[in-house]
Chain A
Amino acid sequence: MRYLLLIYGDEKVHASVPPAEMETVFAEYGRFTAELGASGRMLGGEPLTPTSTATSVRVRSGKTLVTDGPFAETKEQLGGFYMIEASDLDEAVKWAAKIPGARFGTIEVRPIWEIHKKGVTEAGRS
């Protein structure tokens, strides 16, 4: 199965982290990404710029409405993601727990809805 691991954290806290500490966390992410890549389970993953750069788009009655800011104001914001291949939720959770951000924020594990190849996922599970 494919899973999206969404990395949530408090941007205000991130902004106040001293640069040296930030370096350490970046290095940890580097090591984690290398480990995930070497395992052959990584399908993708990127960090995101802060929500201060976010733009929300809605189309209503055919009109495109563009507003500044993220979709929802929450305590923790989406800061990056990994897409992985895992045999089940336990494996996905194992990888999620290794993401450095899991220690400060929350990793949301979401299965990809395999609309186009439903049969394949069912086989993968049996």
Chain B
Amino acid sequence: MPEVREAIEAVFRREHGIIAAALVRAAGGDFDAAEDALSEAFELALVKWPEDGIPENPAAWLTTAARRRAIDRARRSKVLDRKLDSLREGLDPAGTDPEFPEQDGRLEDDRLRLIFTCCHPAIDMEARVALTLRTLGGLATSEVARAFLVPEPTLAQRLVRVKQKIRDAGIPYRIPPRELLPERLEGVLAVIYLIFNEGYSASAGDSHVRAELSSESIRLGEVLATLMPEEPEVLGLLALMLLHDARREARVGPSGELVLLEEQDRSRWDRAKIARGTTLLDRALALGEAPQGPYVVQAAIAALHDAASRPEETDWEEIAALYEALGQQVPSPVVALNHAVAVAMARGPRAGLERLALLEADGRLERYHLFHAARADLFRREGRSREAAAAYRAALALVENAAERRFLERRLEEMEATP
């Protein structure tokens, strides 16, 4: 019965984060025990559900079944009684029916615990991302491997090592105490945003898996926003992702080429996502204090782009001001580059080129193709086609993405055709 299997797989995938969170806690922070128990419960569901039908609360069924497997295992391997007790907690000792009423508050705490543990700063960033996708997102190891273009055994190894580190280094399975929360939250948001960008940038790899990454990161953002509704940066990040994702359809042309913001068919933007993102942004702005955090500021920039029904209506002055504010919080040459472009759009290409000249002297963006592409574009707007062509060539020497390459080549041809 393939359709039952599909239904079970869908449930498994959707509920993976919740179930895993409860199980890891019950197993005293042992990720492997939780994962083994969960896959055994999944196997059991494959046998039982086609006969008995899909239970009313599939997540509860799977959680309970998995816990029973974990208890059996723990018994067999004679681990400490304390661990057994924590696995048994809340289970009816005589019950054979795997129906388990989870307390809601507890479930939420479990998920937060899992997010914060997967994103602990003592774990290497790549491993954090892999573990988050695997455990919270329920992606298969092969899917995570494909998304990050690493061989599956390499990724599997990475996951083994990170779980060992969590266990042996004593990384606590808990929501960080108040005094650690701000810095820890930053780490969690960085992981989610990195997953989003991997999916959004479409630099390489399987496009289906990449779309999956973006929706997965938005889902994680939603979970975090539900769990921490008063944290402006949490809402800001979710708003930022939604406001960018709203343009997903419009930013890729019929043959897969990248379509620049100002050339996109704005009627194809997802209005519902923009509305939701804008509402979240407003709430974040109301909750936060000046200066607003970097995700809120970036969401505000995205919202201004989304609010313009035609490119000419974009409020570039405001966007330039926001990039300036962002640059003060996150001093980075890339932010300075975006600021220069916004200034050029607001006050003309010459003002932008002046700022880019400063950045050129700084030298850190010399190997960054978008720096040269931005310079080329401003020269083009100024009608300085020879300088524009040189800058396009510099960008082409550095660009990796095929769609971007085609775009730059097209512009270079235009410039070479212009006397």
Contacts and interface: CB of A to CB of B under 8 A. Distances in A.
A3 B122 CA distance: 15
Contacts of B170: 1, 3, 86-89, 92, 111, 121, 125
B169 A89 contact: yes
A87 B28 CA distance: 14
A86 B169 CA distance: 11
A73 interface: no
Interface residues of B, number: 17
Interface string A78-112: 00000000111110110000000000000001010
B171 interface: yes
B171 A89 contact: yes
B176 interface: yes
A126 B28 contact: yes
B29 interface: yes
B18 to A, nearest CB: 21
A87 B80 CA distance: 18
Interface in B156-173: 167-172
A122 to B, nearest CB: 6
Contacts of B149: none
A119 interface: yes
Interface string B254-267: 00000000000000
Contacts of B176: 90
A125 B180 contact: no
Given A111-B168, A125-B28, A125-B170, A90 B180 contact: yes
Contacts of A121: 170
A125 B172 CA distance: 8
Interface residues of A, number: 18
B80 A111 contact: no
Contacts of B80: 119, 122-123, 126
Interface string A56-94: 000000000000000000000000000000111110110
A122 B83 contact: yes
A101 B419 CA distance: 64
Nearest to B121: A93
Contacts of A90: 171-172, 176, 180
A88 B171 contact: yes
A87 B170 CA distance: 8
Nearest to B172: A88
Contacts of A1: 170
B82 interface: yes
Most chain B CB within 10 A, of A1, A89, A119, A123, is at A89
Nearest to A86: B170
B168 A125 contact: no
Nearest to B27: A126
Contacts of A126: 28-29, 80, 82-83, 86
B47 interface: no
A88 B122 CA distance: 12
Interface string B176-205: 100010000000000000000000000000
Contacts of A111: 168-170
A125 B29 contact: yes
A26 B345 CA distance: 57
B79 interface: yes
A1 B29 CA distance: 15
Interface string B93-127: 00000000000000000000000000010100000
A1 B168 CA distance: 10
Nearest to B122: A89
Given A87-B172, A121-B170, A125-B28, 10 more contacts: A86-B170, A88-B170, A88-B171, A89-B122, A92-B170, A119-B80, A122-B83, A123-B82, A126-B80, A126-B82
User: Which 7 A-B pairs give the minimum distances between C-beta atoms?
Assistant: A126-B28, A88-B172, A88-B170, A89-B170, A1-B170, A89-B171, A89-B169
14 contacts: A3-B170, A86-B170, A87-B172, A89-B120, A89-B169, A90-B176, A109-B169, A122-B28, A122-B79, A125-B29, A125-B167, A125-B170, A126-B28, A126-B80
